């Protein structure tokens, strides 16, 4: 359950009126006053209280000076249900010890990653918004000491989480005064949770979608591998004639080449078209798309992906030639969001050719007019969420590509 911290200050915060400036001055005045009237016990009491309050305030003000933090992840990506260990190193280079220390990790939007259950969730005001953090006590950090702390993050669902800073809280030994400091990490750590992979079928892509490139049978000849030769028949391509055998007097013979499947598939993703649909529709569509790309890459098909620009993520395009390179396009899917539309300019800037290209979308009515005109000119089909129709484009139901579907 989330709770609110005592203070949101990033430099210095007082957790008790006892350590305030006016309180310390009042205690000093009382101590001096009692001493002038000869009441030594009372004077010693107030002067000692002032010394404790001033010492606590001074300790808390400097307790986090020079303290640095670094973070290292054993993995950079994972799938829902998997866990990723993080190793956090804290360094206190000064002589002033940290009697207690609390670390706060920023909690990304959507909660794609969450630490072990022993961590608590807090809400920290940042400007006009409340930002959520994971919080855990990390015991003490003595003078000139380094400490390593292991954190296990559990992937809940698709998303991205970037650690570029941490928040540290510490103070005096009596917890009278608390300092909160934001510590930047020397090397930010980004963890990606890829969409879940589900069983899909790629038969349609081989049977129909590659006809423009390879002919109606969905295959092409590998001219470097001759599987067999046979007698010439009317209608055979003259380029397949084996002139060497003809020169030996064996008649008109044609080469039978090895058949290979096409080697390219490009997917476009329009995030804005999913905005009127429930969030579950986008997540399910990305799971199907990720699974299609994974299976095609496993079949040695070069797969590429172009998405609408995601907020906070600079990349839009990624390609892979096999399954070992699949993490690049899956990373784009982890960053995808329904906030931006895919424009005609973005498509033309990235793709010199639109053959073997397919657009994945939610509601076809939300596609930009210029994008639809471009796709219709190149006969690019739409893989939409649900049964839909478009006056210019062929529309297929993306759900039919799941195993057991119609395609």
Locate the domains of the chain by residue range. Answer: 15-62, 68-193, 220-260, 264-401
What is the pLDDT tens value at each position of the chain, 407 positions in all? 444 444 333 555 556 667 778 888 888 899 899 888 888 989 999 999 989 988 888 888 889 999 999 999 988 999 998 998 889 999 999 999 999 999 988 876 667 787 776 677 777 777 677 777 888 888 788 889 999 888 888 888 898 888 888 889 998 888 888 888 889 999 999 899 999 999 999 888 766 544 544 444 445 565 666 778 888 888 888 878 887 888 788 888 888 876 555 578 899 999 999 999 999 999 999 999 999 999 999 888 889 999 987 766 778 999 998 888 999 999 999 988 888 888 899 899 888 888 889 999 999 999 999 999 999 998 899 999 999 999 999 999 999 999 776 66
204 Rama class: left (phi>0) / alpha (psi -120 to 50) / beta: alpha
Say how many Å lie between the first and final Cα of the chain, rounded.
Answer: 45
Which single residue is written with the structure tokens 């195993």? 403
> Does the structural domain 264-401 have CATH classification 3.40.50?
yes
Both structure tokens of 338: 């329904």
Which single residue is written with the structure tokens 């796709």? 375
Going by C-alpha positions, the residue among 101, 186, 102, 90 that lies closest to residue 145 is 90
CB distance 168 to 181 below 8 Å: yes
Question: What is d(CA 2, CA 111) in angstroms, rounded to the nearest whole number?
Answer: 13
pLDDT, residue 7, reads: 38
pTM: 0.76
pLDDT, residue 241, reads: 83
Question: What is d(CA 124, CA 363) in angstroms, rounded to the nearest whole number?
Answer: 37
pLDDT, residue 110, reads: 66
Which single residue is written with the structure tokens 């990723």? 84
CATH of segment(s) 68-193: 2.60.40.10
């Amino acid at each position: 359950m989330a709770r609110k911290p005592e203070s949101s200050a990033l430099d210095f915060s007082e957790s008790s009126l006892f350590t305030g400036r006016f309180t310390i001055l009042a205690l000093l005045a009382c101590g001096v006053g009692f001493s002038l009237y000869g009441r030594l016990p009372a004077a010693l009491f107030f002067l000692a209280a002032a010394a404790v309050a001033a010492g606590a305030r001074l300790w808390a003000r400097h307790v986090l000076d020079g303290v640095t933090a670094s973070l290292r992840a054993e993995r950079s990506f994972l799938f829902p249900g998997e866990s990723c260990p993080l190793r956090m190193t804290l360094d206190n280079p000064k002589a002033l010890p940290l009697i207690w220390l609390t670390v706060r990790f920023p909690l990304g939007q959507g909660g794609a990653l969450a630490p072990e259950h022993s961590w608590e969730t807090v809400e920290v005001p940042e400007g006009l918004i409340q930002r959520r953090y994971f919080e855990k006590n990390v015991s003490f950090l003595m003078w000139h000491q380094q400490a390593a702390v292991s954190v296990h993050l559990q992937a809940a669902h698709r998303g991205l989480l970037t650690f570029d800073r941490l928040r540290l809280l510490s103070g005096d030994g009596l917890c009278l005064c608390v300092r909160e400091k934001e510590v930047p990490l020397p090397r930010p750590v980004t963890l990606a949770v890829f969409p879940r992979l589900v069983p899909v079928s790629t038969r349609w892509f081989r049977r129909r979608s590659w006809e423009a490139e390879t002919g109606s049978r969905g295959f092409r000849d590998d001219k470097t591998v001759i599987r067999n030769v046979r007698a010439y028949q009317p209608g055979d391509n003259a380029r397949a004639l084996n002139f060497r055998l003809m020169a030996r007097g064996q008649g008109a013979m044609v080469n039978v080449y090895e058949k290979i499947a096409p080697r390219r598939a490009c997917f476009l993703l329009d995030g804005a078209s999913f905005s009127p649909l429930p969030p579950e529709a986008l997540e399910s569509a990305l799971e199907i798309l990720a699974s299609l790309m994974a299976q095609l890459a496993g079949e040695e098909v070069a797969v590429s992906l172009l998405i609408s620009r995601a907020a906070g993520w600079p990349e839009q395009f990624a390609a892979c030639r096999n399954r070992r390179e699949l993490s690049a396009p899956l990373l784009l899917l982890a960053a995808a969001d329904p906030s931006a539309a895919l424009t005609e300019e973005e498509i033309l800037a990235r793709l010199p050719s639109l053959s073997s290209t397919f657009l994945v979308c939610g509601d076809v009515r939300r596609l930009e007019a210029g994008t639809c005109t471009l796709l219709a000119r190149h006969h690019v089909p739409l893989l939409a969420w649900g049964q839909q129709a478009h006056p210019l484009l062929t529309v297929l139901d993306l759900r039919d590509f799941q195993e057991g579907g119609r395609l």
